[in-house]
């Protein structure tokens, strides 16, 4: 598996790779992740790659310099040099290890290394909703190049499958496999007491959680606006909580907007902006929450939504991307239009005001993830795509040899 987004980074792509890799290793297959070792000092680019272990997963690290303190043009040059060196070191590692399958994630670049690799079957997982925006920009050509390198393609939502097919890729090579969740770690039995104490929740006080990074596409500002509407309507004994930060480009961040909305609301004592929360601490945070809110403007298949479902929490979500696949309206949550704080507030209020409805939603969500979305099932589906890719690759090589 190859990715430019991996531990210690936290996010959906990283979590997907970690969980699928662990499940595949548990089945007895051999697997290695190739990922950057990000650094800010230019001298680090000359360090050799090295092997380490993260959560039981072998990881081949390749130094990669990102220096955000330098001027824009110089930073662009250093990133391109690092990218080229990463790709060359990746190809060397593939020649050394001779894998049966190369499965890459989050690797789109102007010079795609898979163009120069023909030694095994190739699988691409097209993860993120950034792809949706990129299709209407000059990046479309990069995505097309990336897709063309793969024998088989995996996407975590039907929307992303259809958009990938728009790149003139045969639909039979594109497969919908959702993200997954660890039903043992994320469960209704998770200990909520530590978080109740940390959030200073009193008896009878409820927490409404928005577990989203402060990135514009995640719509956290609409959650804050909905909360303010509810507080103005007299919503009592409720704390509104966000969990997530954002370290990407400032133009894509909502951190300042969210902070300003809270400070100007007159209800800043009813908000807790937690920032980044480690994944191992999330089960208890879900468990102490009354309802989980997903106000995204675009989304693939949300890990946060599945984690909330696994802890038997009702969900209020926008009706975008892969979210309706997870949140079935009036079955395990409520769906509302994106960018509509008033409708979001109405849905949150309904769940809070109807405890029997909230309990029914929570039980239905838990049953669904146990049945369909545990990581072991996702890993087996992924392995089935590996087998397809190997068959296609082997057939292609045999056809090429026959033509000669």
Residue 155, exposed/middle/buried by CB under 10 A (0-12, 13-18, 19+)?
buried
**DSSP secondary structure string for all residues of 127-196:** --THHHHHTTSTTHHHHHHHHHT-SEEEESSHHHHHHHHTTT--GGGEEE----B-TTTSSTTS--HHHH
pLDDT value at residue 68? 57
Q: Are 90 and 124 in contact (CB under 8 A)?
A: no
Is the same domain home to 115 and 217?
A: no
Residue 369 lies in a domain: yes
Domain containing residue 59: 2-180+375-403
In a domain, residue 186? The reply is no
| pLDDT value for 289 | 97
Same structural domain, 126 and 12:
yes
Q: How many domains would you assign to the chain?
A: 2
Q: What is the CA radius of gyration of the chain?
A: 22
Same domain, 363 and 387: no
CATH code of the domain containing 314: 3.40.50.2000
Helix locations, 39-116, DSSP H: 72-97
Look at residue 332 in the predicted model and tell me its pLDDT. 97
pLDDT at 172: 95
Q: What's the pLDDT score for residue 72? A: 45
Distances (CA, A) of 334 to 21, 319, 367: 33, 9, 17
Q: How many residues does the chain have?
A: 404
Please choose, from the candidates 97, 132, 85, 80, the residue with its C-alpha nearest in 3D space to the C-alpha of residue 1.
97
Kindly state the tokens that stand for 249: 């480009």
Do 369 and 392 lie in one domain? The reply is no
DSSP 329: B
User: What is the pairing mode between strands 101-105 and 271-273?
Assistant: unpaired
Q: Is 154 left (phi over 0), alpha (psi -120 to 50) or beta?
A: beta
| Residues 22, 168 within the same domain | yes
The model's pTM is 0.78
Regarding whether 341 and 217 lie in a shared domain, the answer is: yes
pLDDT number for residue 400: 64
Domain identity same for 167 and 231: no
**Beta-strand (E) ranges in 188-304?**
206-210, 238-242, 271-273, 291-294
pLDDT digits (tens), the chain, 404 positions:
999 999 998 778 898 999 999 999 999 999 999 999 998 888 888 899 999 999 999 999 999 988 655 544 444 566 778 888 999 999 999 999 999 999 999 776 667 889 899 999 999 998 876 787 778 888 888 888 889 999 999 998 888 899 999 999 999 999 999 889 999 999 999 999 999 999 999 999 999 999 999 999 999 999 999 999 999 999 989 999 999 998 778 888 999 999 999 999 999 999 999 999 988 899 999 999 999 999 999 887 788 999 999 999 999 999 998 899 999 999 999 999 999 999 999 999 999 999 999 999 999 999 999 999 999 999 999 999 999 999 999 998 887 655 43
- Note whether residue 347 is domain-resident: yes
> Would residue 382 count as lying in a domain?
yes
- Alpha-carbon distance of 130 to 339, in angstroms, equals 18
Are residue 46 and residue 145 in the same domain, yes or no?
A: yes
Residue 52 domain-assigned (yes or no)? yes
Please give the pLDDT value at position 132: 77
Residue 341: inside a domain: yes
224, 340: one domain: yes
């Amino acid at each position: 598996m190859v990715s430019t987004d991996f531990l210690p980074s936290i996010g959906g792509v990283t979590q997907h790779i970690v969980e699928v890799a662990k499940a595949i290793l548990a089945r007895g297959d051999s697997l290695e992740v190739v990922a950057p070792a990000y650094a800010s000092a230019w001298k680090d680019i000359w360090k050799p790659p090295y092997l380490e272990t993260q959560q039981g997963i072998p990881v081949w690290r390749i130094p990669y310099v990102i220096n955000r303190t330098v001027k824009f043009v110089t930073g662009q040059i250093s990133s391109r040099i690092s990218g080229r060196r990463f790709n060359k070191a990746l190809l060397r590692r593939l020649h050394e290890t001779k894998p049966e399958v190369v499965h890459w994630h989050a690797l789109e670049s102007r010079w795609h290394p898979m163009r120069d690799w023909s030694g095994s079957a190739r699988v691409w997982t097209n993860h993120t909703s950034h792809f949706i925006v990129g299709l209407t920009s000059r990046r479309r050509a990069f995505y097309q190049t990336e897709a063309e390198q793969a024998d088989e393609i995996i996407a975590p939502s039907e929307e992303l499958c259809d958009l990938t097919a728009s790149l003139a890729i045969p639909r039979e090579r594109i497969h919908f496999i959702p993200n997954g969740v660890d039903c043992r770690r994320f469960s209704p039995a998770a200990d909520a007491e530590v978080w109740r104490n940390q959030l200073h929740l009193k008896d009878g006080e409820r927490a409404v959680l928005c577990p989203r990074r402060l990135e514009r596409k995640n719509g956290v500002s609409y959650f804050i606006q909905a909360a303010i509407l509810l507080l103005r309507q007299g919503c009592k004994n409720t704390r509104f909580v966000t969990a997530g930060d954002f370290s990407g480009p400032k133009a894509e961040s909502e951190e300042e907007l969210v902070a300003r909305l809270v400070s100007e609301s007159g209800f800043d004592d009813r908000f807790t902006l937690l920032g980044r929360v480690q994944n191992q601490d999330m089960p208890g945070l879900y468990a102490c929450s009354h309802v989980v809110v997903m106000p995204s403007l675009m989304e693939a298949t949300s890990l946060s939504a599945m984690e909330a479902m696994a802890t038997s929490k009702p969900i209020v979500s926008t009706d975008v991307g892969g979210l309706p696949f997870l949140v079935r309206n009036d079955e395990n949550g409520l769906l509302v239009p994106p960018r509509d704080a008033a409708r979001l507030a109405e849905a949150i209020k309904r769940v809070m005001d109807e405890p029997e409805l909230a309990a029914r939603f929570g039980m239905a969500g838990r049953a669904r993830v146990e049945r369909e979305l545990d990581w072991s099932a996702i890993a087996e589906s992924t392995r089935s795509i590996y087998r397809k890719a190997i068959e296609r690759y082997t057939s292609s090589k045999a056809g090429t040899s026959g033509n000669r």
